[in-house]
Structure 1
Amino acid sequence: MSLPPNFGRAVDLSSLGKPKAEPAGPMPGIEITPENLTNEFLSLSKDKPVVLICWSPRSPESQEVVAILGKLALADQGSWVLGRVDVDAQPQVAQALQTRAVPFAVAIINEQMVPLFEQPYPEEQIRMVIDKVLALASEQGVGGAPTEKIEPEEEEAIAALDAGDYAKAEAAYKKLLARKPNDNFAILGLAQTQLMARTDGIDGANVMKEASAHPDNIDIQLQCADIEIVSGYLEPAFARLLRLIPLFDGAEKKLVKDRLIELFALVDPADPRVIKARAALANALF
């Protein structure tokens, strides 16, 4: 990472407003200065990834992100190094890192700078970012690849699925989501488990026949959509349930809407078929 010619210029972060009180107690990570950034951290990034977080006493949100990163660094037991940059006290460093707002996180891997994010995120998403940094560093021969961590509830769910006990697997995933509501793997696992439970032992051909004969029967249409999802026919399944939304009110409409959302969770959110169906559902509801 080469430092720009305007290294000595200050960064204008006046939009943050008036200074606030300094955070209580010591902050995690190593305080970054112009000297240790160039003399220590660049060379250190050849051995393990470095994550720098730019923060300000005027931004409580940025202080929260520093705390989250400190917690994750502690959990990862030295596999990466956390440095913190007070943009008010170290404008030269902030300028060198091209900081435009706080919080702003950047990784340094083998002396190369990799911007990460420049807004506050919850711990689960920051965890995913750090895991990607570790994986990228490992690909470049820096540090080791992140070890996959399996939650105990997920282990319980997988064992239950291997035994064909869908109810126990569902309960395990729900227990994990109660503890970690935004865990994407748990959300996906629960949706897959519920789908397998609903389609277990179902005669797909007969369900499709019944769905054609009774187009407005919610239970049959829900079953048919499940069969279509299992068979890989995403668009027909989404269209089948979207057609029902304007036909019903109250609890019945909510039932169809909730099932659609469950089915969306089974597919990559970036899939254009999901994006299209989500937009159609929003239009139908509002």
Structure 2
Amino acid sequence: MQPRNMSMSGVVDLAAVKAAGEAKAKAEEARAQAARQGGGGTVPPAALVIDVDEAGFEREVLQRSTEVPVVIDFWAEWCEPCKQLSPVLERLAAEYNGRFVLAKIDVDANQLLMQQFGVQGIPAVFAVVAGQALPLFQGAAPEAQIRQTLDQLIQVGEERFGLTGIAVDPNAEAAYGAGAEGAPPAPPGPYDALLEAAVSALDANDFPGAIQAYKNVLADDPGNTEATLGLAQAELLSRVQGMDPGQVRKDAADRPADVDAQLAAADLDLVGGHVEDAFGRLVEAVRRTAGDDRDKARLRLLALFEVIGGDDPRVTAARSALARVLF
């Protein structure tokens, strides 16, 4: 298969003035905050090539793309051209040393992402810059053409969005994922007592106590599914506590452009069992807003996804709708 779309023609839409200004401001703010905190912001070389699935796409691709261009390699184990292209992309990610990050997506395990990007065949390579996607090429391509495309992508990221890449520390490799003196970290848990305390707090309507208990678990074990779900539920119940449902719904109807009014109504929708209404309201809020308001609506929608659970078909449908308005 011959490579297609080996140009940056999609950059015209990607580099819209408003989006560029917002992304550049966010990147500068993130760098300033890191400097204030005294953090070097460095990553080990291993962090330049990552495997991404649907659950981690928001964090590892969309959020990461506000500081560095993310190149996405759609591949599959059975795809012979993929086996030619992927090693080249991985080697170039190391060579470019933080100017872009390579995200590898197995299409067999992540068909929803494949559909959202409109992938017609693999290998297919896309990029996400400042939360916006554009196609790069499809099919195996000569390395010289790949380099040219990457150079153009990086130039767009720098000039239009202020993305200068991430710093790579080769000496961090040995310590990456290791504990003191190079030893592997201790396994997390058990958290039975903390989780029981959180449930007891929820039962007593002590939402601040439940939130703190779940956060204590997640501070030590960020991937704890029970604590993630519990925290999302406790925060939701805390937000709706004391609300006047009639007033909230009136405010949402009277002020459709008021993001805070829509967030409050979506919370009430979800608590009342109107899941599709809650998701649809927030997807529409994302569609009609920009900047901080858009981020606020998007993040609340992701939080409500956690309440329902990623395997629920209503969440899957809403994720597709969200991707359409974001891209």
TM-score normalised to the size of structure 2? Answer: 0.40
Return the structure number with greater helix share.
2
TM-score normalised to the size of structure 1? Answer: 0.46
Greater C-alpha Rg? 1
